[in-house]
Amino acid sequence: MDNIAFRPATELARLIRNRRISSRELLEIYLARIDRFDKQINAVVTLDAEAARRQALRADEMQARGEVLGPLHGVPVTIKDGFETAGLRTTSGAPIYKDHIPRDNAAAVQRYVDAGAVIMGKTNVPLFCADSQSFNALFGTTNNPWDLTRTPGGSSGGAVAALAAGLAGLELGSDIAGSIRLPAAWAGVYGHKPTYGIVPFRGHIPPPPGILSEADLSVAGPLGRSAGDLKIALKILAGPEGLQSVGWKLALPPPRAKRLKDYRVAAWLDDAAMPVDREVADRLRETVAALRKAGVRVDDAARPAMPTSEALRTFQQLLTPIIATGFPKQVMEAFKQIAQAKDDGSDLARFARDALLSHREWLGANAKRHSHRRIWADFFRDYDILLCPAGSVTAIEHNTAGTQMDRRITVNGQSQPYGLLIAWAGIFTYVYLPVTCVPVGRTSGNLPVGMQIVGPYLEDRTTIDFAERLAREIGGFAPPPGY
């Protein structure tokens, strides 16, 4: 079967069920590809082939008896190294966790296992999953299969590189500021950031191992090579866990439309506060043109009734204290000195003040967040879907020098702050909206371009359904050359 390694996970599971291929045979294909290709990509940083072989053998033995664990029965997967995996090293890219081998799976990982997935290994992340590039002192730098001189993004960079290069059948990512969406866009794969709170986050690092409280903003979600993979994976992952499951049930609404042309679509493709590179914008406009050709009515003037700057500022105030939680005491003392000095308008001064936000100030930002959620609810009374860039640029060249506040990117020939990379993702993160990221073509330099499909709160099935229908018009995942 030609190119079986690039088939969607749903198709791989079907081939196993129909006994066209065994789980063990499929696993060996992926292990051979990891051995062949991953030396140049550095996506899979921890691999336990023998444990995976035992899992695959068990899946095949069950299959022979007519027993099926679930929709991922026998499908080999990798897991982002931010999620704890039982008996398999989990580091979150941090030297202090270089020997951390959890006893239990993270809640989301366990749901993949219960659905029949075969876990092969772990994929690379930045230190504590906190960068738009995936590199760390333990495992080094992950390269983008489309161009090895560029990053696949972060923090789910190893995950998307593995998917794009055909090294795994499915992945599990996490997202607090675009960590599923930006990498998916830069590697040309599919990713879904669920509505906040519907997929359990317990067992992710950060926070430190053993913490049971749910962090604000952070979500776990699937990464795959088709919208159909996201649909099945979300069904597996979503639902209450632990104490909540005693009385809570999750019933996500069905997609808002049954045909592509029945969706009410808005398009927000550029913004002065979040400039978009011309080639990215061109691919997005071509996607809108394809939708119109298919009979979809697209309003490219519709916007939420709030200033973009206000949305970005609220996101920053809610995100920064979470990031700063794990900073050493001496760093926080330095931030106090910066915050007490005269405000020079720099990104560092803003970050320092936000890192030290008082609870009273946080409550003000949270109140602003909920007023913005009401604005989005009003917006989605008139529209079912909002189309946006996944980011301002395509995959950037490796740039790991200095701090994130020192780094710059180039948009349309102009130098811009590195923080712009997460802006288009962040304005939907803090208001808890579901977002599906899809590939929509490539630039003249053959780099993938991704688009966010944003939907109403708790209407994840709408964004994934739209993504699936869009692929029938413009195509979906394509492997990078040479793999």
Torsions phi, psi for 120 (to 5 deg): -90, -40
Torsional sign, CA 359, 364, 369, 370: positive
Which tokens hold the place of 109? 């990982």
By the 8 A CB rule, do 146 and 164 touch? yes
Measured distance CA(335)–CA(332) in Å, rounded: 5
Instruction: Give the catalytic positions in this structure.
Output: 80, 155, 179
Q: How many CB atoms lie within 10 A of CB 388?
A: 25
By the 8 A CB rule, do 188 and 205 touch? no
Extract long-range pairs of 452-455: CB within 8 Å, 24+ residues apart.
Answer: 452/181, 452/387, 452/388, 452/389, 452/390, 452/424, 452/425, 452/428, 453/385, 453/386, 453/387, 454/385, 454/386, 454/387, 454/388, 454/428, 455/380, 455/384, 455/385, 455/386
Measured distance CA(112)–CA(73) in Å, rounded: 9
Residue from 466, 462, 414, 408 nearest 438 by CA: 466
